[in-house]
Amino acid sequence: MEYADFLDESYVPDDELVCTFRLRPGEGLSVGEAAARVASESSNGTWAALSPESNVRQYSATAFDIGEVGDHGATVSVAYPQPLFEDGNLPQILSCIAGNIMGMKAVETIRLLDCEWPEGLVRGFPGPQYGPSVKSELLDAIDRPALATVPKPKVGLSTAEHVDIAEAAWRGGVDLLKDDENLTDQSFNPFERRVSEALAVAEKISEETGERKEYLVNITAETDEMLRRAEYVADRGGRFVMVDIITCGWSGLATVRRRCEDLDLAIHAHRAMHAAFDRLPQHGVSMRCLAQFARLAGVDHIHTGTAGLGKLENEDTPGINEWLGSELYGVAPVLPVASGGLHPGIVDQLLGALGPEIMVQAGGGIHGHPDGTEAGARALRASVEASLEGVSLEERAETVPELRTALEKWGTETPR
């Protein structure tokens, strides 16, 4: 078994995991030679020629379908036999397809662009418990995007201040209050007090408005503590928890997913740290792949970007959202979340780019409204409803003063 044995440009995959990479070969190597090393290192080869007595070659990955060299290298596909992988073990799979190969001298840069998942491998994962059905089963957002907000400032508020902002946002028409990625159990806003008080107010506003109001609670912590926090949320009537899935890791997420099914909780996936993997176009792991891993692991909604309209960037939000809603051997779809720098003046553009089957989350675009949080929430809700009805924001603003004020403040510009 030598490097050359891991390259077959005429190869046709059959029921294998196929990963598409973009790579720039290391010094002195062709693209094909580098691709062979990627297939070797990520399956069962090594730098020295091997002469195994058994037929281990059946478990070797095969590099094939080498594309033209572009700005960031050439695309290469690698097919991995399913027996290489442990059933339902996402960390083990990623150790193969995005592990040592990211640091090999044989590649100057390499990026995992996409994966094609065979049915046998997909069947080992739970997938989402709810997915987009949270809009109708847990919320009253059947024919429109679900609306969420994070209290701002996102850390530093006392529990009382946090809950006051939540009440104003819910009254203004937002469905979900959401903790941000770095709010967990700090002394200025302790977890248990925040959860108990916020959920009590959510119940009160639900009764007053006739719309279900819910709270996305960040349970991110050590894994056993995440389970305890999930149980605390469920015991107090909550229906949603949030996990920072990249920083917690795929094993932690798998454990939380299993417990949340017992507790009947939906999982909101925050992607903090994703850009450490996907920001550089020539190296790392694409957001498309991160979203795929999250769907298999079983999150119900995940941040996927704003199609260039917000303050955060990643590649191909529409394509990622399409994949999250696609058929995947019976695995439920995932509800995409658009967030980061959104405000009422760009909602029509957002829905035009991504469609209505999303969650729209605005923080500063609600709480920065000149007339306060409730007015900001009303402006956001009005902008969404106008967009769905085919009415211009300017026309709707004639009858919704909160929207008129928002347009006067922010216009239709995207923030930086």
Q: Which of 69, 101, 122 marks a domain boundary?
A: 122
**Do 235 and 350 fall within a single domain?**
yes
In a domain, 416, yes or no: no
One domain for residues 35 and 142: no
Residues whose CB is less than 8 angstroms from the CB of residue 388 and which lie 6 or more positions away in sequence, other chains included? 143, 144, 351, 356
SS3 category, 312: coil
65 and 196 co-located in one domain: no
Tell me which of 135, 178, 213, 270 is the catalytic residue: 270
Same domain, yes or no: 277 and 239: yes
User: Average pLDDT over the chain, rounded to whole?
Assistant: 96
What is the predicted pLDDT for the residue at 414? Answer: 81
Whole-angstrom distance between the N-terminal and C-terminal Cα of the chain?
A: 52
- Cα atoms found within 13 Å of the Cα of residue 262, Cβ hemisphere only: 9
Pick from 63, 89, 122: which residue ends a domain?
122
Q: Residues 211, 255: one domain?
A: yes
> Which residue among the candidates 135, 152, 343, 369 is catalytic per the annotation?
152
DSSP-derived secondary structure letter, 26: P
Structure tokens at 228: 């305890």
Residue range 152-181: average pLDDT? 97
Question: In this structure, are 214 and 257 located in the same domain?
Answer: yes
Number of structural domains the chain divides into: 2
Residues 63 and 139 in one domain: no
Residue 157: the pLDDT is: 97
Residue-wise pLDDT for 61-77, tens only, equals: 999 999 988 889 999 99
- Is residue 54 very low, low, confident or very high in pLDDT (cuts 50, 70, 90)? confident
- For residues 187 and 156, what is the distance between their CA atoms, to the nearest angstrom? 9
Task: Assess whether 186 and 70 both reside in one domain.
Answer: no
Q: What is the pLDDT of residues 90-127, one digit of tens each?
A: 999 999 999 999 999 999 999 999 999 999 999 999 99
Helix, strand, coil shares, percent, the chain, to 5: 45, 15, 40
Residues 330 and 256 in one domain: yes
- Same domain, yes or no, for 231 and 92? no
Q: What is the pLDDT of residue 182?
A: 95
Question: Does residue 237 belong to any structural domain of this protein?
Answer: yes
Q: Which two tokens stand for residue 154?
A: 């996102």
152 catalytically annotated:
yes
Residues 99 and 154 in one domain: no
Specify whether 200 is located in the same domain as 116.
no
Residue 252 has pLDDT above 90, yes or no: yes
Residue 62 DSSP class: E
Give the SS3 label for residue 97.
Answer: helix
- How far is the C-alpha of 140 from the C-alpha of 357, rounded, in Å? 14
- Residue 415 resides in a domain: no
Distance separating alpha carbons of residues 20 and 114, to the nearest angstrom? 5
Which CATH number covers residue 58?
Answer: 3.30.70.150
Domain that holds residue 21: 3-122
State the pTM of this model. 0.96
Out of 74, 93, 122, pick the residue that ends a domain. Answer: 122
